[in-house]
Amino acid sequence: MKYIKQTVEEDIGFISINNPPLNILSKEVFEEIYQCAKDFSSNQQVRAIVITAEGQVFAAGADIKQIKDVSDTVEGEKMCLEAHKVHDILWESNKPTIAMINGLCVGGGNELVMCCHFRIASDKARFGQPEIMLGIIPGLGGTQKLPRFVGVSKALELLLTGDVISAADAKLYGLVNMVIPETQLKRQTVGFAKKMTSKSGIAVAKILECVRRGIEMPLKDALKLEAKGFGFMMTQEDKKEGVQAFIEKRQPKFKS
């Protein structure tokens, strides 16, 4: 990998963007993120995936030089659809995906963290979608994911002004799950991940699936999806172990 540092620490896979000084998200960087996430998704040792960045900046957006060279509709759409592979591999993962945001996170960077299930930010982080300043619009889900996290009105405000907000405001609006002092960011992110990696892997995967698919359905259909998932879990060894451990007042030893 030229632009990514890929490591495994116990049961957590780390994808760290390393494209100094601003960790610009070129097509090549997106491709390497996708390949790392794909590798971790099939790695039985890895039970959670954390995406972060080297240095003081998480990601200052997409590569403007590459965007400048695009001059027709088909090529522009193709560029977006290629980047959507990253969204799909992170959002549709059956393992928790966590963005550990260590600094400035704007444009494609902000869209990248919205591909993850969770966002944990340093108190020094800042967020925004400034594409409007360039006379363009977001292309990795900014107009679609941001309203789902912060609401339509606030999303439109951020998209149409290009304003950059603090980590504290991002938490207030619902964009990030928590804000952590910079010096404690990795320790607390790992602690958060381990709350999930210690659980039944098959139950984690089923919850992720039910939520991911259910939010796109009418409630009646989503409830049926959940009931089907519940029925599936009744046949699993982890269910038997979890219930028995509860009865015996001990910690469960899940197999998945």
Q: How far is CA 142 from CA 110, 146, 189, 212, in A?
A: 8, 6, 24, 18
DSSP three-state, residue 127: strand
Distance (Å, rounded) from C-alpha 197 to C-alpha 204? 9
Catalytic residue among 54, 75, 111, 182: 111
**131 part of the active site:** yes
Strands 97-101 and 48-53: parallel
Residue 32 CB contacts under 8 Å (≥ 6 apart), including other chains: 1, 2, 3, 4
Catalytic residue among 10, 32, 131, 182: 131
Residue 247 CB contacts under 8 Å (≥ 6 apart), including other chains: none
**92 part of the active site:** no
Q: Which two tokens stand for residue 12?
A: 């957590």
Q: Tell me the HSE value of 40 on the side-chain side, using a 13 A CA sphere.
A: 31
Active site amino acids: 111, 131
